[in-house]
A and B are shown apart, each in its own frame.
Chain A
């Protein structure tokens, strides 16, 4: 029965090492470097310091959403409402600060709480009402977007207090605040996913729900926390975006779930759960950021960018499935 496998090549060993030790897929790193090299050749402006900060700034919102997507998909679920909840959160924060006149910190907190509330509703419907996550979050995609339009009466809410704007536009030490917040969130999310019980149980549930249950993990409870966390992160993304553009825009975050899920999948998250890493997702988010930024620099119409993102998502899943079949497990 036991067939001695051929001695794996250097590339195969490096691949396995990177997955086991760093929790990333080496291919995504290669794609990021290659993509950056191409962009650098095509546009002399690409590698300038200010453009790199631009990329990071654009990536910060998507990156926070991609963290949420990584946790949820890693647990075998899906959250399609990320972009809409992000839009709702920005509107709620702006509404609380501008229309209700609450102090700036309350406005910022309101963004995250609004997101967490939407996520909690998702979690309860999925784990207590047993409606599939795909349907619940698809419904929430419509619900949250509609609610954002209702609260804002279809208009953009302007006139945020300066402290809220600082969170989006301030540059301590020359680094934009959203980038700092994003990086802190990514580091915390990485440590939690890779090194804590919570993170391990998240992946175990995505890997085999029955195994997790048999091991005594409270699966439903864990899932509710995950969807609430996902919503809270979408709220954080909404807060960053609102502060950056200095307004609560009910249409913000449209289609962002597409980009966020793509970033997570490119980063090596298994679409069906059980394998995920924030480091990988960050590389995926940077690939999306570089792609968009490069296409902007090359003056490619945004319609084509939308197409590129969709194509990349399908391609990433194809490569992932192809590799899994090649390794002939499951």
Chain B
């Protein structure tokens, strides 16, 4: 079942054209790798899906519904979550405040004053979510800015998974992690897939992409230049499509640059 359909998405910032008509489809429970050189438009494309950016033209359908007119909050409400490369955490707030940011459960004070945040419920559910991820945080009441990079990422992941998402977009989730933490992120992606949750993975670490994805889409010069089935491709082909050349030479050059 097709979950997300992007058609002819265009986006420019002033005179700079970033996306020139991107087509992309993601099925439920499918893991799609999105790769491309720096400046290919990967993050911009993802932000048009979450609604942070508004596409200049084209259409985006999610679960058969046109979501272009919706704001980021409404799109989250439909089940689109994103783990940003910079994590987008409110660093002076505690764990629960970050996980529930924008969706705080409320209760009535004295039975009639509405709109008060149920911090007790938030704290309990946040602690539950963090332990379900198998992670340990120093203290849930501490501001997340005092955590290590990996711990902060745990909070960002918990935020993306707490509200039963249908699609999780991960922008370079392994770039800043230690080896063991990378493995747990890859395991998490497999677990999400087994639960029927679609994942779009942006990563420069092609080994990771080849290891967990079903399909790899190569973004080049603002277009979806190639759509490869992971089981039938290899590192060399992916690298060649990224840099635009065809031969081993280009691949080797890319590898050397890291």
What residues make up the interface of A, taking CB atoms closer than 8 Å to B?
A: 1-2, 20, 191, 195-198, 200-201, 203-204, 207-208, 210-218, 270, 274-275, 327, 329-330
Contact = CB atoms under 8 A, between A and B. Distances in A.
B148 A207 contact: no
B117 interface: yes
Nearest to B81: A214
B101 A196 contact: no
Given A195-B109, A216-B103, A217-B73, 6 more contacts: A1-B178, A197-B115, A201-B102, A215-B73, A216-B73, A275-B92
Interface of B: 50, 52, 71-77, 82, 84, 86, 88-94, 97-98, 101-104, 106, 109, 115-117, 119, 141, 143, 145-146, 148, 159, 178
Contact of A196 (B71, B117, B143, B178): B117
The list of the 6 closest CB pairs from A to B, nearest first, reads A216-B73, A215-B102, A207-B90, A274-B92, A215-B101, A211-B88
Given A196-B117, A197-B117, A327 B90 contact: no
> B89, B94, B101, B159: which has the most chain A beta carbons within 10 Å?
B101
B72 A214 contact: yes
Given A204-B90, A208-B89, A215-B101, A327 B148 contact: no
Contacts of A196: 115-117
Contacts of A212: 90, 101-102
Contacts, number: 95
B210 to A, nearest CB: 28
Contact of A329 (B50, B101, B146): B146
B78 to A, nearest CB: 11
Contact of A216 (B72, B84, B116, B148): B72
> A216, A275, A330: which has the most chain B beta carbons within 10 Å?
A216
Given A204-B97, A212-B101, A327 B146 contact: yes
Given A197-B117, A208-B91, A212-B101, A20 B72 contact: no
16 contacts: A1-B148, A195-B116, A197-B115, A200-B104, A200-B117, A207-B90, A207-B93, A210-B88, A211-B90, A214-B82, A216-B71, A216-B73, A216-B76, A217-B102, A274-B92, A329-B143
Contact of B104 (A191, A197, A329): A197
B91 A330 contact: yes
Contacts of B97: 200, 204
B68 to A, nearest CB: 16
Contacts of B116: 191, 195-196
B102 A216 contact: yes
A327 B178 CA distance: 24
> B75, B89, B93, B102: which has the most chain A beta carbons within 10 Å?
B102
A214 B88 contact: yes
A218 B73 contact: yes
A278 to B, nearest CB: 15
B97 to A, nearest CB: 6
Nearest to A2: B148
A330 B86 CA distance: 14
Contacts of A208: 88-91
A214 B91 contact: no
Contacts of A2: 148
A214 B52 contact: yes
Nearest to B101: A215
A36 B234 CA distance: 75
A260 B84 CA distance: 37
Nearest to B151: A2
B96 to A, nearest CB: 11
Contacts of A217: 73, 101-102
A2 B181 CA distance: 14
Nearest to B118: A195
A275 B91 CA distance: 10
A195 B120 CA distance: 11
B141 A20 contact: yes
Contacts of A198: 115
> A2, A196, A214, A330: which has the most chain B beta carbons within 10 Å?
A214
> A204, A207, A217, A270: which has the most chain B beta carbons within 10 Å?
A207
B53 to A, nearest CB: 11
A299 B93 CA distance: 44
Contacts of A218: 71, 73
A245 B61 CA distance: 63
B90 A214 contact: no
Nearest to A208: B90
B153 to A, nearest CB: 14
Given A20-B141, A200-B117, A330-B91, A213 B52 contact: yes
A217 B71 CA distance: 9
A264 to B, nearest CB: 16
A211 B145 CA distance: 13
A329 to B, nearest CB: 5
